[in-house]
């Protein structure tokens, strides 16, 4: 299960590009496609699931990329899906904070609403909003891995478990 943010999409960022960044979305998509091809080779019969992240979605936002460029990027992204991801499932049509995929008592979600100050409290709130009691909620939005642990709010332990898988962001370098 890929939890999104397949690429950094630095070239689609509305934020200032740092000196060491190479903002080329097509390079990032090429590297991502190679990663997907490798996953397909090592697990040809496995069910593969892709959940969109905010960076994947940012590639097509009007304020991020000009209309003409959006068409080019969408065309290339569709090609990656048609070629390398043809047998993958896309349970969420786009990125949204409430989109998730559930496998038994495990809920997989890109996540969101973390802001600049990530706290474990946020992971707990997501598990309550989108997970199931006595289940595990796995997200990735903060990009920082967090090992599975019991959720809590303040001093109160909750009947939920949380984890953050981080992301596989590709920068094309």
Q: So what's the pLDDT on residue 119?
A: 60
User: How many C-beta neighbours within 10 Å does residue 69 have?
Assistant: 15
pLDDT at 27: 81
Looking at residue 116, its pLDDT comes to: 44
pLDDT at res. 73 = 82
Question: Would you write out the chain's pLDDT as a tens digit for each of its 173 residues?
Answer: 999 888 776 666 556 667 776 667 788 888 889 999 999 999 999 999 999 888 888 776 666 777 777 788 888 888 898 999 999 999 988 888 889 999 999 999 998 765 444 466 888 999 999 999 999 999 988 777 889 999 998 899 999 999 998 876 655 44
pTM here is 0.83
Number of Cβ within 10 Å of residue 44's Cβ equals 9
Q: Are strands 106-108 and 101-103 parallel, antiparallel or unpaired?
A: antiparallel
For residue 70, the model assigns a pLDDT of: 77
φ and ψ at 149, to 5 degrees? Answer: -155, 165
33 and 83 Cβ atoms separated by less than 8 Å: yes
pLDDT score for 120: 66
Nearest to 165 by CA among 135, 149, 144, 134: 144
């Amino acid at each position: 299960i890929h939890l999104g943010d397949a690429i950094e999409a630095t070239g689609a960022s509305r934020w200032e590009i740092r000196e060491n960044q190479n903002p080329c979305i097509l390079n990032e998509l090429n590297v991502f496609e190679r990663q997907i091809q490798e996953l397909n080779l090592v697990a040809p019969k496995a069910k593969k699931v892709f959940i969109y992240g905010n960076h994947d979605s940012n590639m097509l936002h009007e304020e991020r990329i000009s209309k003409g460029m959006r068409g080019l990027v969408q065309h290339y992204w569709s090609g990656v899906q048609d070629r390398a991801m043809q047998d993958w499932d896309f349970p969420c049509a786009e990125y949204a904070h409430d989109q998730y995929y559930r496998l038994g008592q495990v809920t997989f979600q890109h996540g969101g609403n973390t802001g600049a100050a990530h706290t474990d409290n946020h992971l707990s709130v997501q598990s309550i909003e989108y997970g199931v009691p006595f289940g595990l909620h796995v997200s990735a939005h903060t990009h920082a891995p967090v090992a599975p642990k019991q959720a809590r709010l303040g001093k109160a332990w909750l009947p939920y478990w949380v984890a953050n898988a981080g992301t596989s962001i590709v920068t094309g370098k």
